[in-house]
Amino acid sequence: MNQPVIRPVVRDDYDSWLPLWDGYNAFYGRSGATALPREITRTTWERFFDAYEPVHALVADSGGVLLGLAHYLFHRSTIAVAPSCYMQDLFTSQDARGKGVGRALIEGVYDQARRAGLQRVYWHTHETNRTAMQLYDKVAEHSGFVVYRKTV
């Protein structure tokens, strides 16, 4: 496999992006009866193209075939003057795994953060996602933080 081009998503990518998005959500148990409402998918997609939204998307494109996605957002922080970059979603197709696509997408997010003058990119993953964590341990530092959440 040739190294894919990492680029911002464009509107014409929707039909190729959607199976990756659905695969990402299925990986985290959001499918079938627990699937995200389509309104969330539509809103997420539209945010990528709204200049007033801090949400962005990159895709890994190999000759017109999308192999992966990375969604990230810029936000303010209480511990730094410059905003931070949170990579919220990272996913590659099954066929692309282990071939450098995930690493290339992460590097693409790093590049976007640098271009925006940011110094920090972070993300989290589920503790059972051991395969991805092997890559993450090579490209970033594990912060040791534990995530808590509550739906209100």
* 1, pLDDT greater than 80: no
Q: How far is CA 85 from CA 16, 23, 62, 68, 82, in A?
A: 25, 23, 26, 19, 10
pLDDT digits (tens, 9 = 90+) for 70-122: 999 999 999 899 999 999 999 999 999 999 999 999 999 999 999 999 999 99
Q: How far is CA 51 from CA 7, 48, 97, in A?
A: 17, 8, 32
Looking at the domain that runs over 5-139, which CATH code has it been given? 3.40.630.30
* 27, pLDDT greater than 80: yes
Query: Residue 31: pLDDT band by 50, 70, 90 thresholds?
Result: confident
Question: What pLDDT, on the 0 to 100 scale, is given for residue 145?
Answer: 86
Question: What pLDDT, on the 0 to 100 scale, is given for residue 3?
Answer: 86
DSSP state of 86: E
CA angle 85, 11, 15 (to 5 degrees): 105
Tally of CA atoms within 13 A in the half-sphere of 130 that contains its CB? 1
Q: How far is CA 121 from CA 15, 30, 111, 130, 147, in A?
A: 28, 25, 10, 20, 16
What's the rounded Cα separation, in Å, for the pair 115 and 109? 10
Closest CA to 60 of 101, 103, 94: 101
Q: Which tokens is 53 given?
A: 């939204």
- Encode 44-70 in three state secondary structure: HHHHCCCCCCCEEEEEEEECCEEEEEE
pLDDT digits (tens, 9 = 90+) for 33-83: 888 899 999 999 999 999 999 999 999 999 999 999 999 999 999 989 999
